[in-house]
Homo-oligomer: A and B are copies of this chain.
Amino acid sequence: MHNKRLQYTVRVSEPNPRLATMMLEQFGGADGELAAAMRYFTQGLGEDDAGRKDLLLDIATEELSHLEVIGSIIAMLNKGVKAQLAEGAMEEAELYRSIGASGVSAKEALLFGGGPALIDSAGVPWTAAYVDSRSEPTADLRSNIAAESRAKIVYERLINVTDDPGIKEALGFLMTREIAHQKSFEKALYAIEDNFPSGKLPGISKFANIYVNTSQGEGDANGPWNVGEQWDRIDDLSLTMPIDGGDGTARVVLSLGDEAKLAKLAARTTSDPTCNPVTGVDLGAGPGAGRTTDEDMGGADDIHEAPAIAEANAPK
């Protein structure tokens, strides 16, 4: 059932199609209200635990009402351009200016006529690829917590670029609700006693506490995430190539027929490492080995000196 009153009253000072395209981020964007509603709705449909099912459907329904609030803001902000486009008279140049600054407001105006569309602030259509429900509550609840945290931030950024007080106030409401939802999902996660690691299969002990310091050089840093008694830290990467004590290759047992076919394929496409073939580049490079310049692109105020690589190579 739907009630025609919005969950939050919307008062917009004046039309502004560019601000409307920014608001699209929370209508048809990756962390927008449709993504939120569909995330919880699909989880709710598949959930067998009564408590979590209820929670998911409660919040899914509220997110749909938020979708309506943000969509109404967009509709208000676009009301001028909608009228101008539909009844367009002699003011082409003005219309062009008002929607032409951004490809997104152009698309919003030309294709969608100013109606709220399920695209993000860059005009990309909403995709269910944003929804990361996995039918495992300890993973899904963590995804929900993260999603609420992200949505909170996007609302905060929208508040920071908006100076229309009515919109700012509605955004503040919507932002705060994400905080409340995060709290609910946290409670639901930790109400599952044994929630880590997710799923049923345990990790393999000998790999579960290793930290591999794969990125090295100036900037290496320590913290509780890689130092302390719970970690077996590997700095010498030769120990992990491979980590299993094998030879680090990939092999498969093939049938004789497949072996024979692979051998024929290899022979047919073998590359001769000793040849130095004429290539298409040689044909097309004109007189010389292709155009080059000794100048950097940055102009005269070169800040770097190229290394003497040839020399460096010499002694090798």
Contact residue among B100, B110, B252 (Cβ-Cβ distance under 8 Å from A76):
B252
Which residues of B lie under 8 Å from residue A152 when comparing CB positions?
Answer: 139, 197-199
Which residues of B lie under 8 Å from residue A268 when comparing CB positions?
Answer: 194, 200
Query: Can you report 12 A-B residue pairs in the complex whose CB atoms are below 8 A from each other?
Result: A3-B215, A4-B215, A11-B303, A22-B100, A51-B271, A165-B303, A173-B244, A191-B225, A196-B285, A228-B276, A244-B306, A245-B304
Which residues of B lie under 8 Å from residue A57 when comparing CB positions?
Answer: 2, 4, 214-215
Contact yes or no, B179 A223, CB < 8 A: no
How far does the alpha carbon of A255 sit from the alpha carbon of B76 in the complex, in Å?
Answer: 13
Contact yes or no, A25 B106, CB < 8 A: yes
Contact yes or no, B234 A309, CB < 8 A: yes
A2, A212, A290: residue with the most chain B Cβ atoms closer than 10 Å: A2
Contact residue among B166, B190, B203, B276 (Cβ-Cβ distance under 8 Å from A303):
B166
The 0/1 profile, CB within 8 Å of B marked 1, for residues 89-132 of chain A is 00011011001111111110111111111111111111111111
Contact residue among B79, B83, B117, B122 (Cβ-Cβ distance under 8 Å from A107):
B122
Which residues of B lie under 8 Å from residue A213 when comparing CB positions?
Answer: 58
Name the distance in Å between A40's Cβ and chain B's nearest Cβ.
10
List residues 179-219 of chain A with CB under 8 A from any CB of chain B: 179-180, 182-219
Contact yes or no, B115 A309, CB < 8 A: no
Contact yes or no, B276 A149, CB < 8 A: no
Contact residue among B132, B182, B305 (Cβ-Cβ distance under 8 Å from A197):
B182
Contact yes or no, B119 A184, CB < 8 A: no
The 0/1 profile, CB within 8 Å of B marked 1, for residues 133-157 of chain A is 1111111001101100110111011
Contact yes or no, B196 A284, CB < 8 A: yes
Known: A224-B273, A309-B239. A149 touches B249 (CB 8 A): no
